Chains A and B, each alone.
Chain A
Amino acid sequence: MIDAILDRKWLASLLFALLLIILWQCMDVFELLPSYVLSPWDILDALVATTVDGTLPLASVQSVLLQLSGFAVGAIAGVVLGLTAGVSRWAEDFIDPVVSLTYPLPKIALFPVVVIWFGYTDFSRALVIATSCFFPVFVNAYAGTRSIEPRLLWVARNADAGKARIFLQVILRAAMPAVSNGIRISLALSFILTYATETLGASAGGLGNMIEDGFNDLQYGPLWAGIVAFAILGLVADRIWGRLSALWTRGQLVEAMGRV
């Protein structure tokens, strides 16, 4: 019996998670939880309540719009520059040193600087999210392009393929798994930064602001609803990207993780 469950990994962990949730609910029944830890049932209640009064959907849309705009700009810039640096030595010499120097800086530290110029606006937020998202995508796209198997290029040259064709049909395809990994890391990062930038400064809107307000006003319902919404968004975005990238990396080996 136990063997059969352990063989199905998802089933074992699902049962384990259920057990934890039941335990959590029981702790509430015996009043062992502090006031700010809601029981699973109360969290569900809060989710329904904030959905019905419209605050949760509104905040989610605001957050997703902010996250998507920053992420898209950063990721696209990362892919374009990463591939360029991987393919051209000139571009590499100009881009790589700058990226290596700025890479270890926690990009969120730029937020207070940007705020001095543009205030606590969505533009400032998107700018910082985009900057953060650029780096993992760039680093992985660059590495993916550079680490292409040289014999594959020989095969292409043997067939007398032109430069544009080699770039589109060989280099780009070979770099796809690495690019995908970079984008996946950036996607996770974009949610962290969306939360961070929305929490800082008043009048932000979005889920981060909802959580922050809940915290300040001791409104634990909206606080938990915001946290759960963030979790669901992060998970769903990751799953969607996983499915999408599986389509165009078919046949290729995708490593579990690229560089953050």
Chain B
Amino acid sequence: MERAHADDLTEVAAGLTHSLDELSVSVTDLTKVFRRGNREVTALDGVNFTARPGEFVTVLGPSGCGKSTLLHILGGFESASTGSVEVFGKSVTGPGRERGMVFQSATLFPWWTIQRNVAWPLEVGGMGRKASRARADDLLELVGLTGFGDAYPGELSGGMQQRAGIARTLSLEPQVLLMDEPFGALDAQTRELMQEELNRIWQASGTTVVFITHDIYEAVFLGDRVLVMSGRPGRIVADISIDLPRPRGHDVKGSPEFSDYHARLWNLLRDEAIASEFLSRD
């Protein structure tokens, strides 16, 4: 396991591709301790990673390893016990519009139409009603929901709701997109479709993405890099670059390279998964 120092990586990143000398996401020695009554549970123990602007980072780990906690801390909804979390050089102290969250369920406001849901963050940001709705329609087109703006969330399927949820988060024009197993609740076919869609949307928007999943296929298919997390207490045990050509289509999943990545990750994850299987029984 390599623990790269943020400073080193900054140099590397700056030297390689971007003229920006700042990292998109930088997490240093992050720990999180929960208190349950008198007991203390260490959810995250010394997590270090960075992401370059525009990079798609997937975080892969067994259930209960603290992946979601990591994302919630990045989003500013939970606080770190120790360590630092920076996004574009700014320390994270609370939620912010530059970090857009997408949850496992779409969490749309059920009392508004899809269009109003997508337009709402823009309204909050001070945009006029007409302009925000026009922009919402553009975003709905981007996620393939043209013509569904007047529907209520309850009238749409799970996959369509999640598309709308992504559109709403994109309306924040976030620098970093934080996605917490967004396709975990969808059926297998819809999930594959949504993965391809997300690839397309991400390439169009150019934001940094931190994407949490427990699905190896999903992690490899989507990610520029896959961070593998251990079971509780969560820490990053591997950082693997996925050198598959972009744009990636469905056929990538059948390639020998893809299978190699999958096998490698499964070997890494196997022991962690077995451990967490028995750990989660308490």
Q: State A241–B153 Cα separation when bound (angstroms).
A: 24
Q: Which of A156-164, A203-211, A219-227 contacts its partner?
A: A156-164
- Is the CB–CB distance between A157 and B125 below 8 Å? no
- Is the CB–CB distance between A149 and B153 below 8 Å? no
Q: State A250–B124 Cα separation when bound (angstroms).
A: 22
How big is chain B's contact interface, by range?
Answer: 20 to 34
Chain A residues with CB under 8 A of B125: 159-160
Chain A residues with CB under 8 A of B120: 159, 169
- Is the CB–CB distance between B103 and A151 below 8 Å? yes
A5 CB within 8 Å of chain B: no
- Is the CB–CB distance between B107 and A157 below 8 Å? no
Chain B residues with CB under 8 A of A249: 111
Q: State A49–B110 Cα separation when bound (angstroms).
A: 50
B100 CB within 8 Å of chain A: yes
B54 CB within 8 Å of chain A: no
A51 CB within 8 Å of chain B: no
- Is the CB–CB distance between A157 and B95 below 8 Å? yes
Residue among A151, A159, A169, A251 making CB contact with B154, cutoff 8 Å: A251
B32 to chain A, nearest CB (A): 17
Chain A residues with CB under 8 A of B112: 251
- Is the CB–CB distance between B172 and A158 below 8 Å? yes
Residue of A nearest to B121 (CB): A159
Chain B residues with CB under 8 A of A151: 103, 105, 107
Q: Mark A119-157, 1 if CB is under 8 A from B, else 0.
A: 000000000000000000000000000000101101101
Chain B residues with CB under 8 A of A157: 77, 94-95
Residue of B nearest to A149 (CB): B107
A252 CB within 8 Å of chain B: yes
Chain B residues with CB under 8 A of A173: 109, 111
- Is the CB–CB distance between A251 and B95 below 8 Å? no
Residue among B77, B103, B107, B152 making CB contact with A251, cutoff 8 Å: B152
A64 CB within 8 Å of chain B: no
Known contacts being A160-B96, A251-B112, A253-B154, is A155 close to B124, with CB within 8 Å? no
Known contacts being A158-B172, A161-B124, is A251 close to B101, with CB within 8 Å? no
B241 to chain A, nearest CB (A): 30
A176 CB within 8 Å of chain B: yes
B75 to chain A, nearest CB (A): 7
Q: Mark A23-35, 1 if CB is under 8 A from B, else 0.
A: 0000000000000
- Is the CB–CB distance between B124 and A152 below 8 Å? no
Residue of B nearest to A162 (CB): B124
- Is the CB–CB distance between B97 and A160 below 8 Å? yes
A239 CB within 8 Å of chain B: no
Chain A residues with CB under 8 A of B113: 251
A169 to chain B, nearest CB (A): 8
- Is the CB–CB distance between A155 and B111 below 8 Å? no
- Is the CB–CB distance between A251 and B100 below 8 Å? no
Chain B residues with CB under 8 A of A152: 107, 109
Q: State A253–B100 Cα separation when bound (angstroms).
A: 27
Q: State A61–B94 Cα separation when bound (angstroms).
A: 57
Q: State A174–B105 Cα separation when bound (angstroms).
A: 17
Chain B residues with CB under 8 A of A250: 111, 152
Residue among A158, A176, A251 making CB contact with B97, cutoff 8 Å: A158
Given A157-B77, A251-B153, A252-B154; 6 other pairs, CB 8 A cutoff: A152-B109, A158-B101, A158-B121, A159-B172, A248-B111, A252-B111
Offer 6 A-B interface pairs, CB within 8 angstroms, sorted by A. A157-B77, A157-B95, A169-B120, A170-B109, A176-B111, A251-B152
